[in-house]
């Protein structure tokens, strides 16, 4: 299993500012994923970050709002830009178990999350 | 459009008794189902899964049941222990890949000693 750390663990930010969240994995992985969990909602995939190429964003998420970097195989950042109170969420990064899981499906390992509050 | 639904936001159970967490889905194309467990200040951790070709998968105290005709999934924990107190997320996937994985909103289980 992969060990994933995130920084910061939580932050309180002012409207209109930006916050960059870091995700570090203890092993090299091909893809890293960024999720958002708004209060009372399910985990929603924001984007997939591949090393050496642009991130792939899911419907409803755009690069200008959530720019992502993936400089190497163990690290990624997600920036939440021009924040509004609606961006208050828990942001999580995850990686797949590339060793193979059950039924041919690779389970995901999640970081501890970053709790963001925008005032 | 919530494709995976957990209609019970919370559940309390006495230690030693059975905990049953329920999950409903709408997409008949889902072929893989998972349960994740989340403690406060930690990320979700994989608990147990089941393929659509099966109707039951058991791992120790945890059993997942799949009723495809009803589009219903349940997680049974027997016997429940105080350490099982956490938020449980149901998830479903069409094939592999994180972009095909859909999560429910979670059920907070409290096991009372």
Closest to B23 in 3D by CA, of B45, B58, B48: B48
**Count of CB atoms situated within 10 Å of the CB of B16:** 11
Q: What is the mean pLDDT of residues A93-110?
A: 74
A58/B99 CB distance under 8 A: yes
Which residue on chain B is closest to A92 by alpha carbon?
A: B43
The two beta strands, B107-112 and B10-14, are: parallel
A102/B44 CB distance under 8 A: no
Tabulate helix, strand, coil % of chain A (nearest 5).
5, 50, 45
CA distances (Å), B58 to each of A71, B25, B27, B32, in order?
Answer: 40, 21, 24, 15
Q: Say if CB A43 and CB A63 are below 8 A apart.
A: no
Residue A102 has pLDDT above 70, yes or no: no
A107/B102 CB distance under 8 A: no
Q: Say if CB A113 and CB A10 are below 8 A apart.
A: no
Residue A101 has pLDDT above 60, yes or no: no
| Model confidence pLDDT, tens digit, residues A53-65 | 889 999 999 999 9
The two beta strands, A10-13 and A114-118, are: parallel
pLDDT at A103: 58
Q: How far does B42 lie from chain A, in Å, by closest CA?
A: 4
Q: Which of A42, A56, A104 sits opposite B104 (nearest CB)?
A: A42
Q: How far does A77 lie from chain B, in Å, by closest CA?
A: 17
Tabulate helix, strand, coil % of chain B (nearest 5).
5, 55, 40
Q: What is the mean pLDDT of residues A72-78?
A: 95
| Model confidence pLDDT, tens digit, residues B55-104 | 999 999 999 999 999 999 999 999 999 999 999 999 999 877 777 889 99
Least confident span in A40-49, A93-102, B17-26, B51-60: A93-102
Which residue on chain A is closest to B8 by alpha carbon?
A: A40
The DSSP secondary-structure symbol of A58 reads: P
Q: What is the mean pLDDT of residues A13-25?
A: 97
Residues across chain A: 119
**Count of CB atoms situated within 10 Å of the CB of A60:** 8
Which residue on chain A is closest to B57 by alpha carbon?
A: A102
């Amino acid at each position: 299993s992969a060990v994933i750390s995130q920084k910061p663990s939580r932050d309180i930010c002012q409207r209109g500012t930006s916050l960059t969240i870091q995700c570090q994995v203890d092993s090299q992985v091909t893809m890293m994923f960024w999720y958002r969990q708004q209060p009372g909602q399910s985990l929603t995939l924001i984007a997939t970050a591949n090393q050496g190429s642009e991130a792939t964003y899911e419907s409803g998420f755009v690069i200008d709002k959530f720019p992502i970097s993936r400089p190497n195989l163990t690290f990624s950042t997600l920036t939440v830009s021009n924040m509004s109170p609606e961006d208050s969420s828990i942001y999580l990064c995850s990686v797949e178990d590339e060793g193979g899981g059950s039924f041919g499906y690779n389970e995901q390992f999640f970081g501890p999350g970053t709790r963001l509050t925008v005032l | 459009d919530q494709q995976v639904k957990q209609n019970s936001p919370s559940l309390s159970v006495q230690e030693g008794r059975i905990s049953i967490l329920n999950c409903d889905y709408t997409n008949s194309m889902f072929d893989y189902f998972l349960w994740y467990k989340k403690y406060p200040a930690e990320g979700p951790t994989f608990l147990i899964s089941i393929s659509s070709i099966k109707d039951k998968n058991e791992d120790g105290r945890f059993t997942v049941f799949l009723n495809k005709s009803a589009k219903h999934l349940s997680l049974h924990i027997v016997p429940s222990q105080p350490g099982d107190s956490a938020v449980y997320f149901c998830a479903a996937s069409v094939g592999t890949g994180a972009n095909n994985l859909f999560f429910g909103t979670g059920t907070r289980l409290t096991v009372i000693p």
